[in-house]
Amino acid sequence: MKKLYFLLAFITIACLANAQEEQDFTNKKQADIEALKVAFISRDLALTPSEAQQFWPVYNQYSKELAATKTENPDVLERDEKVLNLRKNYKDRFTKILGAQRVNNMYNAEGRFHQLLFKAMRKQNQLQNRPNRPFRRNF
């Protein structure tokens, strides 16, 4: 009986440790993606140090609100409307820092970054799901 309890405890601890490792890996992956996004947008907008100092706190707040809006609204039309309203509200704040044209560039850079990210993720999934076949040469 003691062996059974010991085995159950060992399996439980192993499962919990594995779940923690997966969560840590996911958090690191998200942090890496955010760092890439910051670098992509900074490079695309050619932010000066003073602009970056003003821009990034506002952008981070905008990102948090945007993520919350996207996750809390299951209705697609309602969610899209709220996202659009959020972007309109933040456009004035971003315009004070960057100017109107660069704000449009920022929204476009966000879209391009997401497209590149999805493309890279699709490519990675295709490589992982590809069957292992030996290399063949056709002579």
Res 6: pLDDT: 45
Q: H-helix or E-strand containing 24?
A: helix 2-45
Alpha-carbon distance of 133 to 122, in angstroms, equals 20
Res 7: pLDDT: 45
Res 73: pLDDT: 80
Question: Any idea where the domains of the chain sit in the sequence?
Answer: 35-127
Each of the 139 residues of the chain gets a pLDDT tens digit; together they read 555 444 444 455 555 555 555 566 677 888 888 888 988 998 999 988 899 999 999 999 999 999 999 888 888 999 999 999 999 999 999 999 999 999 999 999 999 999 999 998 888 888 777 666 665 666 5
Res 128: pLDDT: 75
pTM, two decimal places: 0.69
74 contacts: CB under 8 Å, gap ≥ 6? none
Decide if 1 contacts 9 (C-beta within 8 A).
no
For residue range 77-114, list pLDDT tens digits in order. 999 999 999 999 999 999 999 999 999 999 999 999 99
Cα dihedral 35→93→108→44 (10° resolution): -50
Decide if 106 contacts 41 (C-beta within 8 A).
yes
Q: How far is CA 43 from CA 33, 52, 117, 118, 138, in A?
A: 15, 11, 16, 20, 45
